[in-house]
Amino acid sequence: MAGNTFGHIFAVTSFGESHGPAIGCVVDGCPPGLALSAEDIQKDLDRRKPGTSRHVTQRQESDTVEILSGVFEGKTTGTSIALLIRNEDQRSRDYGNLVDTFRPGHADYTYWQKYGIRDYRGGGRASARETAVRVAAAAIARKWLNEKYGVVIRGYLSQLGPHELPFKSWDAVGQNPFFSADPDAVAKLEAFMDELRKAGDSVGAKITTIAEHVPVGWGAPVYAKLDSDLAAAMMSINAVKAVEVGSGFASVTQRGSEHGDELTPEGFLSNNAGGILGGISTGQDVVVTIGIKPTSSIRIPRKSIDKQGNPVMVETNGRHDPCVGIRATPIAEAMMALVLMDHALLHRAQNADVKTATPKLPGSASK
Amino acid sequence: MAGNTFGHIFAVTSFGESHGPAIGCVVDGCPPGLALSAEDIQKDLDRRKPGTSRHVTQRQESDTVEILSGVFEGKTTGTSIALLIRNEDQRSRDYGNLVDTFRPGHADYTYWQKYGIRDYRGGGRASARETAVRVAAAAIARKWLNEKYGVVIRGYLSQLGPHELPFKSWDAVGQNPFFSADPDAVAKLEAFMDELRKAGDSVGAKITTIAEHVPVGWGAPVYAKLDSDLAAAMMSINAVKAVEVGSGFASVTQRGSEHGDELTPEGFLSNNAGGILGGISTGQDVVVTIGIKPTSSIRIPRKSIDKQGNPVMVETNGRHDPCVGIRATPIAEAMMALVLMDHALLHRAQNADVKTATPKLPGSASK
Amino acid sequence: MAGNTFGHIFAVTSFGESHGPAIGCVVDGCPPGLALSAEDIQKDLDRRKPGTSRHVTQRQESDTVEILSGVFEGKTTGTSIALLIRNEDQRSRDYGNLVDTFRPGHADYTYWQKYGIRDYRGGGRASARETAVRVAAAAIARKWLNEKYGVVIRGYLSQLGPHELPFKSWDAVGQNPFFSADPDAVAKLEAFMDELRKAGDSVGAKITTIAEHVPVGWGAPVYAKLDSDLAAAMMSINAVKAVEVGSGFASVTQRGSEHGDELTPEGFLSNNAGGILGGISTGQDVVVTIGIKPTSSIRIPRKSIDKQGNPVMVETNGRHDPCVGIRATPIAEAMMALVLMDHALLHRAQNADVKTATPKLPGSASK
Amino acid sequence: MAGNTFGHIFAVTSFGESHGPAIGCVVDGCPPGLALSAEDIQKDLDRRKPGTSRHVTQRQESDTVEILSGVFEGKTTGTSIALLIRNEDQRSRDYGNLVDTFRPGHADYTYWQKYGIRDYRGGGRASARETAVRVAAAAIARKWLNEKYGVVIRGYLSQLGPHELPFKSWDAVGQNPFFSADPDAVAKLEAFMDELRKAGDSVGAKITTIAEHVPVGWGAPVYAKLDSDLAAAMMSINAVKAVEVGSGFASVTQRGSEHGDELTPEGFLSNNAGGILGGISTGQDVVVTIGIKPTSSIRIPRKSIDKQGNPVMVETNGRHDPCVGIRATPIAEAMMALVLMDHALLHRAQNADVKTATPKLPGSASK
């Protein structure tokens, strides 16, 4: 694979650059008969949209999605679904300083050396703008997973720079610009972000994403493990540097007698596994946490080189998120949805006939 | 894909259960003309082999590999290479207690619910025994990567339970049973493991793996990012719950002015990126750290259920590693090698003609 | 794979229905640095366009292609290239009679039973309109193959119904509406088609496609044979029922002493193999012939059933090609180009380093 | 894909050379719970085995298959199934004359130029010996398809050189060494083959393969059409040069009013389509015919070149089938089985929930 398709059997093929005419994707493998409209997709796109608070990039894009195929009389037909989002805010500014220099922390140097050509406008293909496509494609997956299995996928900002943000309520998440599940932390975060913006600097973040009502049995052994595909999905998001499933790195210091989740007829007694054992879902919540690096585009001058290898100083004065993590929650949810959808279908292919007399443990949605 | 093949163009298809007749794999896509013998593979297998110290499982397996195809007169022919390892120590013991119960922390419950049938002997397909296959396949990749590009891939135990183990020297790694790069810590680790074994408990670990001399330009944007594939590869190893690239989760609290690695004509000034920017190798060391959970098989009794859903107590008295992480270093190296090999070939397919006048930064091996 | 992607490493993902808003595709894996404009693609699309003579459908479509991504400053960037063709002539006519009945020879019954939903307008996804996308994608492949290796891919109509049309000259092909390589046959074909149209019937055809200057060595053993991929590619074209490589079915009655192409220092003495031995190109012309069934939409009434299973009579009064084969030449060329491009890249991945002292036989373009 | 894996979701990865230690494969994606023993596979292998009559190669191989994984207590577990066949008759003869020369009609020249190294013993990887692996893997698919859907796959020799062999009865097929469905033709064929062997020459053949009771709805639009995958599968068999579905090339001279199979409540009135419309099964018999070239290894001297490019004469004195087509019937059946199995599973993945009120036409097995 050449790298722009995600998924095995529910496959998303993505295209588009930050400042080209459009971004979009082709979604292949969606079951037929799912009610689907542009509005179903739009509402997820709107959650990710830039320009919604002073803490994120002020780029103005309506991110209006158009369904070009695969839907007939309001329902999916089982053929490939093309989604198109025109780029609107291709501000015709002077990129002169970026044409020949490589911004630290960005893909400029690596793209240039790999391809020998580079769309320097706004990061080109390496821009996080591409993640709008993932959110759009995943809206289809989320709808199907929810209608068919009751799966609910939600995420929240679990850390912003030094501020750990414990989960308090899902209701809070939609009511602040940070996707914080702790409403009491919002004032603190706003102050922190204001100070950061003033300093011209940026900071990293953690996002935790949870899928509820995933049936027991999704996933596959050895290489197509559910957690392996989730790790790939999450690490493919721009700026993500770390992925944990369940207890993650905390497992390192746990004893086996603490980590291994005990089973009882009433259900598992804990969920250190993050809902996955042996690469297969247990029926508990699937829990994944990602670590996101600080935005690379900052106003503080930094050392770099130009195309000829000469030393230069780079500072970025643009419309950048001082913490890319703030807008990453819908993207992490999207990637989890794409993986679960793919595995839901794979599971049916091979295991549609399996029945066991063993009770599904509570939390284990029936297949 | 049904889940037993890893890689796109250098593809490893694995088979075998812990207590079946054999394990092995088919390696497809190896370039022709590579000198290859069973000994080349055996020496890597021997590094992973059980039974080499009192701190790991006492299972006795010579893990002797046989090359069944794809090599002619000592060289690879470009056709598929089959590797076979017969299982020798299929101790005919009583599995009675495992037939009907699900061990906490293991894949027993999930396999049973997914497949409706389960080879309960030693974990069957879910056993870490399968990782011998990965090490064998990767030996081919490592040899080619080294001969063609000078790539060197090495790992070490960077944490054992609560004991952080900073890197001191590569020489140390091969001289203790823990793959510790700190020779001074060995006594402490031995005492810790002895106490743990006495307690019948287990503990987690961290492994750090580093690839040197990876040329700039390997990887691909969006979904086949080098880090995305590395995350999948690492998370597919049994018991791994977390993956970091470069600074990983530490990036969360870093400022952009600290994290973004500055470039100078003399090279990058730091490597928070772990050698990957925008999913493409920078030419610096590729650095990946994984978190491994404590062994699930312990002597301390634990709650579980049987196939009928009745509560039972489970305790495991077998030949188990009290820390599966101890033997995981060669496996993590193997997975890194498989990913790099795949991307080395993919890069040639699409980018063989690319040349830039821009100097490769020191640390950036030439293509 | 869900069925809308073609190719392994040069991969085309297609979307769109006959009467939806648009058709198009994403082309992934194109090497960077190829000069590419919409015009390069448009000229191939124009060769396939409907409405160019009275012998083909009178549907009016400009088939104007828009490049949405992957090209920057006139050159491919190595990222995915999206191509969009808006549907213009979505004549809002009465499909009433098609909504509930299944046209003989069409995919109506099978789509309905497979998906339970069907875009009945003009055949929906099953329409040959989708082949415009293949021609567009292949224009990129053809340009690269030609610039890099000098590969030239051309086809001609080798039989129209009962009329066999031997090859006379490539020049003739572009100068008649049938892609006939025999200029003297054109009058005969026009008369034949006029009579056919009057009868309200249709007829089949044969197309022969030839690639010149394919280097020796493209292809792969066993399952990814060059001829195997060509057979898949050709059989995926609407209405194709048969594929031959080289002598094809004529090989059945040949003796081995006649069929096996002898080698001499001056080159092969014949090309029964059609340029492929053991799944790998020989360096001779790659020759593939396809058989196309008669158009299923005819004015003669035919028996069928409706959705309730009741007997009905179906006759089609629309803008249909009385011989779909007439416009199939550019499509067959396109599919050959896609396969060759994919194998050109695959070959570089695995075999970039291979050199032999053995002379390439004449006809064997150098790599 | 590097070329040794066939199938998307029921995937067979093959390995082995004619004169290496073994051939075999890994079968991935088999549903769990299928009763499977080595005997189930062996009986299909025995139908393909060499040395069973004077009309085929006298190579002596028991072709004994060993199941190495994926089966537990007599049932498939859903994990990968490895099959191993040791090569026994690796006659240690003098290959001297083949080391440096390229046999006309064989893959010698192309392998050499592609890989720069070649296992010249018996054709190495290019040997038809590899097809034993396909037959073995397909035995699993055939068993599952039959038990689950009642699918029956059978083939026969429909032409031997100039002798057309019309279908008379399935019973006849197993009762002569030619797989002829016409028992009356056997004497004629024996005389023909004896004369051919005396002449030291070879001849081609046609095989027709039919799958009964395939449910309506298997297949996929555009690129993963059932016929497209069948064409690839068949063309991947050694020596196959042509593939037809249903009426195949005869469709070219048919009128639409003759070709398009009419539907009635009692079923289709004909089967020109060969059981596939729009790439999707109709529920009628799936019918595929292949054309096989004459064996390339003959005793008549032929012109060729050696590795240095010098002219040489080649004649082959070995144990060769004078018509490779004679033993190809089980192989064609095998490839059809692999494709149908793959599509059966793909269909369940995407379309498991589809139900229509429209009656399945007779011949359309219920899903």
DSSP string, A5-68: EE-SSSEEEEEE-TTSSEEEEEEE-PPTT-B--HHHHHHHHHHH-SSSSTTS--------EEE-
Instruction: Kindly tell me if the per-residue pLDDT of B92 is higher than 60.
Output: no
A28, C5: Cβ pair inside 8 Å? yes
**Residue A146, marked binder:** no
Q: Which of D34, D77, D343, D348 to mutate to test the interface with A (most CBs of A within 10 A)?
A: D348
Could you tell me where the beta strands, DSSP code E, fall in D217-292?
Answer: 240-245, 263-264, 267-268, 276-277, 280-281, 286-292
- In the block, residue with structure tokens 């390229």: D102
Hey, is D114 helix, strand or coil?
helix
At residue B365, the pLDDT reads 52
d(CA C358, CA D305): 10
In a domain, C341, yes or no: yes
In a domain, A361, yes or no: no
D107, C228: Cβ pair inside 8 Å? no
Looking at the complex, report in whole angstroms how far the Cα of residue B296 sits from the nearest Cα belonging to chain D. Answer: 22
Instruction: Kindly tell me if the per-residue pLDDT of B167 is higher than 80.
Output: yes
Hey, is D49 helix, strand or coil?
coil
A24, C68: Cβ pair inside 8 Å? yes
Strands across the sheet containing A240-245: A163-164, A152-160, A205-212, A286-292, A240-245, B240-245, B286-292, B205-212, B152-160, B163-164
- Interface of D to A at Cβ within 8 Å reads 9, 29-33, 78-80, 148, 221-222, 345-346, 348-354
At residue B366, the pLDDT reads 41
Instruction: Kindly tell me if the per-residue pLDDT of B344 is higher than 50.
Output: yes
Mean pLDDT of C85-106: 81
For residue C267, give Cα distances in angstroms to C210, C262, D118. Answer: 18, 9, 21
In a domain, B356, yes or no: no
Nearest CA in chain B to D119: B72
**Residue bearing the bigger pLDDT, C97 or A41:** A41
A262-306 tens-digit pLDDT: 999 999 999 999 999 999 999 999 999 999 999 999 999 999 999
Nearest CA in chain C to D230: C232
D345, A345: Cβ pair inside 8 Å? no
d(CA D136, CA D122): 21
Tell me the H-state helices in C49-185. Answer: 96-99, 108-115, 131-149, 170-173
**Residue D363, marked binder:** no
C20, A68: Cβ pair inside 8 Å? yes
**Residue D54, marked binder:** yes
**Residue bearing the bigger pLDDT, A93 or C263:** C263
Which residue from D232, D282, D305 is facing C110, i.e. has the nearest CB? D282
**Are B236 and A230 a contacting pair, CB within 8 Å?**
no
Looking at the complex, report in whole angstroms how far the Cα of residue B349 sits from the nearest Cα belonging to chain C. Answer: 4
d(CA D208, CA D157): 6
DSSP secondary structure string, D116-144?
S----GGGGGGSGGGHHHHHHHHHHHHHH
Mean pLDDT of B112-123: 92
d(CA D334, CA C181): 40
**Number of Cα atoms under 13 Å in the Cβ half of residue B302:** 29
DSSP secondary structure string, A215-269?
BTT-B-STTS-HHHHHHHHHHTSTTEEEEEETTGGGGGGSBHHHHSPPEETTEES
The closest alpha carbon to B276, from B348, B338, B221, belongs to B221
Mean pLDDT of B212-226: 94
Task: Give the pTM.
Answer: 0.97
Instruction: Kindly tell me if the per-residue pLDDT of B1 is higher than 70.
Output: no
Nearest CA in chain D to C303: D262
At residue C92, the pLDDT reads 54
For residue A37, give Cα distances in angstroms to A65, A94, A147, A204, D251. Answer: 10, 38, 15, 35, 42
What are the percentages of helix, strand and coil residues in chain A, rounded to 5?
Answer: 30, 25, 45
Residue C255: partners with Cβ closer than 8 Å, 6 or more residues away: D201, D202, D203, D294
d(CA C296, CA C201): 9
B16, D114: Cβ pair inside 8 Å? no
Hey, is A352 helix, strand or coil?
coil
In a domain, A322, yes or no: yes
Q: Which of B350, B353, B367 to mutate to test the interface with C (most CBs of C within 10 A)?
A: B350
Q: Which chains touch B (3 or more CB pairs under 8 A)?
A: A, C, D
- D152: β partners: D212
Lowest mean pLDDT among B57-71, C213-227, D257-271: B57-71
Q: Which of A348, A351, A354, A355 to mutate to test the interface with D (most CBs of D within 10 A)?
A: A348
Residue A333: partners with Cβ closer than 8 Å, 6 or more residues away: A138, A142, A153, A154, A155, A209
At residue B319, the pLDDT reads 66
The closest alpha carbon to B55, from B187, B211, B250, belongs to B187
In a domain, C60, yes or no: yes
A161, B253: Cβ pair inside 8 Å? yes
Query: Domain of B130: which CATH number?
Result: 3.60.150.10
Which residue from C3, C251, C347 is facing D224, i.e. has the nearest CB? C3
Nearest CA in chain C to B29: C350
The closest alpha carbon to D30, from D15, D51, D9, belongs to D9
**Number of Cα atoms under 13 Å in the Cβ half of residue C155:** 28
Q: Which residues of chain D have pLDDT under 70?
A: 1-2, 51, 58-59, 89-94, 96, 318-319, 364-367
CA A43 to chain centre: 16
At residue B94, the pLDDT reads 60
Looking at the complex, report in whole angstroms how far the Cα of residue D68 sits from the nearest Cα belonging to chain B. Answer: 6
Q: Which chains touch D (3 or more CB pairs under 8 A)?
A: A, B, C
**Residue B208, marked binder:** no
C64-95 tens-digit pLDDT: 999 999 999 999 999 999 999 999 866 656 67
B15, D79: Cβ pair inside 8 Å? yes
Chain C CB contacts of D219 below 8 Å: 110, 114
In a domain, B333, yes or no: yes
B181-214 tens-digit pLDDT: 999 999 999 999 999 999 999 999 999 999 999 9
**Residue B80, marked binder:** no
At residue D196, the pLDDT reads 94
**Residue C91, marked binder:** no
The closest alpha carbon to B307, from B105, B118, B95, B125, belongs to B118
At residue C367, the pLDDT reads 38
Could you tell me where the beta strands, DSSP code E, fall in chain B?
Answer: 5-6, 11-16, 22-28, 65-67, 71-72, 75-76, 81-86, 152-160, 163-164, 205-212, 240-245, 263-264, 267-268, 276-277, 280-281, 286-292, 302-305, 311-314
**Are C20 and C119 a contacting pair, CB within 8 Å?**
yes
In a domain, D120, yes or no: yes
Cβ neighbour number for residue B93 with a 10 Å cutoff: 10
Which residue from B104, B255, B261 is facing A104, i.e. has the nearest CB? B261
The closest alpha carbon to C207, from C248, C239, C246, C179, belongs to C179
d(CA B131, CA B84): 13
d(CA C158, CA C67): 34
Lowest mean pLDDT among B282-291, C115-124, C150-159, C332-341: C115-124
d(CA C90, CA D256): 25
D223, C4: Cβ pair inside 8 Å? yes
In a domain, D332, yes or no: yes
d(CA A112, CA B59): 51
**Are A280 and A217 a contacting pair, CB within 8 Å?**
yes
**Number of Cα atoms under 13 Å in the Cβ half of residue B37:** 5
Looking at the complex, report in whole angstroms how far the Cα of residue D304 sits from the nearest Cα belonging to chain A. Answer: 39
**Residue A93, marked binder:** no
d(CA C143, CA C123): 31
At residue B364, the pLDDT reads 61
Instruction: Kindly tell me if the per-residue pLDDT of B115 is higher than 90.
Output: yes
Helix axes D131-149, D329-351, angle to 10 degrees: 50
At residue C91, the pLDDT reads 61
Chain A CB contacts of B287 below 8 Å: none
- A153: β partners: A211
Our count of domains for chain C comes to 1
The closest alpha carbon to A47, from A122, A146, A145, A153, belongs to A153
**Residue A275, marked binder:** no
Chain A CB contacts of B249 below 8 Å: 206, 241-242, 244, 249, 291
d(CA D358, CA D367): 13
At residue D315, the pLDDT reads 86
Q: Which chains touch A (3 or more CB pairs under 8 A)?
A: B, C, D
B1, A224: Cβ pair inside 8 Å? yes
**Are B201 and B187 a contacting pair, CB within 8 Å?**
no
What are the percentages of helix, strand and coil residues in chain C, rounded to 5?
Answer: 30, 25, 45
Chain A CB contacts of B14 below 8 Å: 222-223
d(CA A12, CA C259): 46
Nearest CA in chain A to D348: A349
Q: Which two tokens stand for residue C38?
A: 């919409």
Domain range spanning residue A29?
A: 5-351
Mean pLDDT of A248-266: 97
Instruction: Kindly tell me if the per-residue pLDDT of B363 is higher than 90.
Output: no
Q: Burial, A93: exposed, middle or buried (Cβ in 10 Å; 0-12, 13-18, 19+)?
A: exposed
At residue A262, the pLDDT reads 97
Instruction: Kindly tell me if the per-residue pLDDT of A366 is higher than 50.
Output: no
Lowest mean pLDDT among A37-46, B356-365, C334-343: B356-365
Nearest CA in chain A to C7: A1
